Amino acid sequence: MELLMRNMFQALGKNQSANKLAKKYGLQFGAARFVAGETIEKAVKAVEELNQAGKVVTLDHLGEFVFTEEEANESAAMCIQTLDAIAKSGVQSNLSLKMTSLGLDISKELCMKNMRRILDRAKMHGNFVRIDMEDYAHCQISLDIYRELRQEYDNVGIVIQAYLYRTEQDMQDLDKDKANLRLVKGAYKESDTVAFPEKKDVDENYKKIIKTHLLNGHYAAVASHDEEMINYTKKIVQEHNIPKDQFEFQMLYGICVELQDKLVQEGYKVRVYVPYGIDWFGYFMRRLAERPANVWFVLKNLFK
């Protein structure tokens, strides 16, 4: 049953008709728990509240299904607007983005042009940009672009997914770039020809890449709600005297808030991934696919 629900939500997240319908009716049926709002003003307000609770943030202007150069440029403009809003308000937040929303599926050149526009503005504001990793089809090109940009910019990082077989080799390659990495398990539905099908294997690989990256001495963002992985990270940093300014824990907006607060109280840096925008449906479906508990939360809201 759980697998069936996961597959259903993952398929819905890629459905353009469902996406259009969601835009029409706005943030309803529990989505507002996971998405800060449709405007930058609402997003900044959410960041302010999280900052007051001792957490830092990474903002993501949501975007899916970009098919034209005009749409890609508009998405880049929203990223720049987000960076400007962060600077103007003085909140503590980085920026996260997906390169498909910047024209990656149209051309590499268009995506690179938009990435440079965004990174230049971030550099002007003294801010940092994280490239989100997407599905396997975009993995190699995303890493290629990251490594190219890393030669020009020191304020850019990327995401590595533990569920892919290739990840261990990618980690070795990225070590040369002293990469700032967000380490995740992975949220997309992939074939077992490219990804570990069993959770225990994903978990084992996740522990391996956490330890590898921390011992390499590079900045690590351990993005997980799994307390086993969080406790494992704590164990590694204590055993190897890794300073607290070399890593942070990252969690999603609206999920495991008590655990976020506990880590803050323990003196760890906690960054909350806060998405916003009208194009929220695909992101919301992936959150429902990841955690069955999220589905029950939404169902309860339907009957209130």
By annotation, the residues acting in catalysis are 132, 182
Helix (H) or strand (E) holding 184: strand 181-184
Quote the DSSP letter at residue 133: P
Residue 46 backbone phi and psi in degrees, to 5: -65, -40
Quick one: tokens of 246? 């070399």
Say whether 134 sits in a helix, a strand or coil.
coil
CA distance 98 to 283: 11
- Hey, what amino acid is at 78? M
Residues 6+ away with beta carbon under 8 Å from 216: 175
- Beta pairing, strands 93-97 & 56-61: parallel
CA distance 130 to 281: 21
